[in-house]
A and B are shown apart, each in its own frame.
Chain A
Amino acid sequence: GNSVTQMEGPVTLSEEAFLTINCTYTATGYPSLFWYVQYPGEGLQLLLKATKADDKGSNKGFEATYRKETTSFHLEKGSVQVSDSAVYFCALREAAGDKIIFGKGTRLHILP
């Protein structure tokens, strides 16, 4: 079945460091891919998405590129801030239907 695997956390970085959170997926067809972010005490909110191969999603300085050949959707940011501290979820939307499958989440801590 379809699945999403993302790097385990927690990830701890200093402010202004470069961030990569790895995400790979297994799916039939051509799923849409998402990154969601969850700030403390809140629900998940969409960070960015990509709907087809080679698409790049971007938002708030974060980027991720849909790589079909490596089945990956790694999240990157060039210079993280303390306010980026949160849990990040990689997810895919199955090609058929409207269900979303989430990875287990990666907790990110940014130190000032």
Chain B
Amino acid sequence: DAEITQSPRHKITETGRQVTLACHQTWNHNNMFWYRQDLGHGLRLIHYSYGVQDTNKGEVSDGYSVSRSNTEDLPLTLESAASSQTSVYFCASSGLAGGSQETQYFGPGTRLLVL
């Protein structure tokens, strides 16, 4: 069955370190998204991609970057981790847009603690 996976599931790091969170999907979806989930804020979009070599900033993109070198993967990098980036991170993917109303499928999440 097609799925979307994230790794690691839990990560503890120190302020100032670079951290990369992996997201891999086997749906062959063009669209991939990264969100963070925090109490009182719900889910907020960090970055998204509509295809290989395409990346776009979401509403809370500062301090984060992504790259899309193939269809299956969209790694999220925290260039210099800050305590404000302690959160639960979710990756999601969806099929082609262009008029069709596609559902986003979510990974299980990565819980990140920045000390």
Contacts and interface: CB of A to CB of B under 8 A. Distances in A.
Contact of A99 (B42, B48, B105, B106): B48
A89 B42 contact: yes
Given A49-B101, A49-B103, A98-B31, A43 B108 contact: yes
B34 interface: no
Interface of B: 31, 33, 40-43, 45, 48, 50, 58, 90, 92, 94, 97, 101-109
A98 B107 contact: no
Contacts of A105: 42-43
18 contacts: A34-B103, A42-B108, A43-B90, A43-B108, A44-B43, A44-B92, A44-B104, A44-B106, A46-B104, A46-B105, A89-B42, A97-B97, A98-B31, A98-B50, A98-B94, A98-B97, A104-B41, A105-B42
B97 A44 contact: no
A16 to B, nearest CB: 29
Nearest to B108: A43
Contact of B106 (A41, A45, A51, A93): A45
Interface residues of A, number: 21
Contacts of B103: 34, 46, 49
B44 to A, nearest CB: 8
Interface string A43-62: 11110010100000000000
Interface of A: 32, 34, 36, 41-46, 49, 51, 89, 93, 97-100, 102-105
A93 B101 CA distance: 8
Contacts of B31: 98
A102 B107 contact: no
A105 B90 CA distance: 15
B106 A32 contact: no
A3 to B, nearest CB: 11
A86 to B, nearest CB: 14
B102 A98 contact: yes
A58 to B, nearest CB: 15
Contacts of A42: 108-109
A99 B94 CA distance: 10
